[in-house]
Structure 1
Amino acid sequence: MKIDPVTYEVDMSAGTHPLYVWEAPVRVWHWAMMVCMFVMIATGFLIGAPMVANLGDTWATYDFAYIRFAHFAAGMIYTVLFIYRLYWAAVGNKYSRQIFIPPLWSWKWWKGVFGQVAYYLFMKKTSAEYAGHNPLAQLAMFGFFVLGSIVLIVTGLALYAQAWGWDVYWMSWFGWVFTLFGDAQAVRTVHHAFMYVMIIFTIAHMYMSFREDIMGGCTTLSSMTTGLRMFKHTGGEH
């Protein structure tokens, strides 16, 4: 079985066999990040549009503080997991680096991107199969998830630092973010806007994963559980 070294396209004409693509650290990271994202999105909505406060003593109506705590905790874990993922991209197998280094210089890779767009829009009945991420998924992971996560983490840590004041080490590390964006409200707006970027990415990611698993020529969902990419066809373009 031949695999293109740049696009990771699989030559199906020579037959296929199961490939161990996603290592255990990547699979654990994937599902842990998913949980963090759901918590961050849910609590982020509530922080942006708080619920009506309960009547009573402040010590008995601590709901909003619990929401903020859950958001901050999920955000901190998300940050640690992202840094951990950068580390594993350096020490893991070649597939672990795909989302961080898309081959933007390769015309063949860009042809794969456009081909996958046509395939997902039902303009093509079949598409090529890939050992790791297909080119469109790789581009989306890099543009929306990787770069989007960096923006979310930096702005989120800056907003967290703001609560501690300018005379603490948090602001010495992240005070520059407010200078870059102009003021705290601009940072908050960017942070909130990128929450919607992540929501759009998550919906598209789930759609493409389920669709490929059902209609494509290889497994997708199960591969993020077992690590194995299984191919359903042995010849032709699928």
Structure 2
Amino acid sequence: MGRAKMLLVEDDAALAELLVYHFKREDFDVVQTPDGEEALLLAQETPPDIVLLDWMVEGISGLEVCRRLRRMTETANVPIIMLTARGEEEDRVRGLETGADDYVTKPFSPRELVARVGAVLRRVRPGLAGEALIYADIEMDTVGHKVKRSGSMVPLGPTEFRLLKHFLEHPGWVFSRERLLDSVWGHDSDIEPRTVDVHIRRLRKAINDGGRPDIIRTVRSAGYALDSEGRL
């Protein structure tokens, strides 16, 4: 597995240092700058595998950096995750419309961000991200079709396996039953949305066996999410 090259654009020196530490520990090759203009030059000289981009940076805005990265041939397809202190839906939508692949709202835990970066890389650069999906104490071997929790094997049926895989690829995201039906069962599926609840119950029973904490959150009137910290 090759080392993933990350460009971190963050002007909060303490946060940048913390993120560099965490991602280097995960074997990322990290280049960091607080400046939007410099970020564009660095990205052009050595195109990264992923960009972590703060909404508010020195020089030009994070949104403008994102827009220009998308226009440059070298970085048109490089995944971009925006870091933002703004939780407003409208701002998040603007970030995604500008070309960001994902966003993380501050404050966030570095572990959550590492998981998000891994999830985005797996979708666009499978070779870099390896074959294991890991979140909290759950580990999935996507090739060997095995799941472990706290080191113990968890027996799952094929549908529960696909459901858990989808959650592991999008840690912290809330999915409605309809979205899960589309993503896990496929667009042509004529399965009832309530069937999702049955499979969620089966998945919970399997991964929570032995009194382990429930890692799947039910978000009222919204759906389900994989969330180890219970913040939803």
**Aligning the two structures, in what range does the TM-score lie when normalised by the shorter sequence?**
under 0.3
Q: Is the strand fraction higher in 1 or 2?
A: 2
Q: Over alpha carbons, which structure has the higher Rg?
A: 1
Q: TM-score, normalising length from structure 2?
A: 0.25
Q: TM-score, normalising length from structure 1?
A: 0.24
Of structures 1 and 2, the one scoring higher in RCO (CA 8 A, sep 6+) is: 1
Q: Is the helix fraction higher in 1 or 2?
A: 1
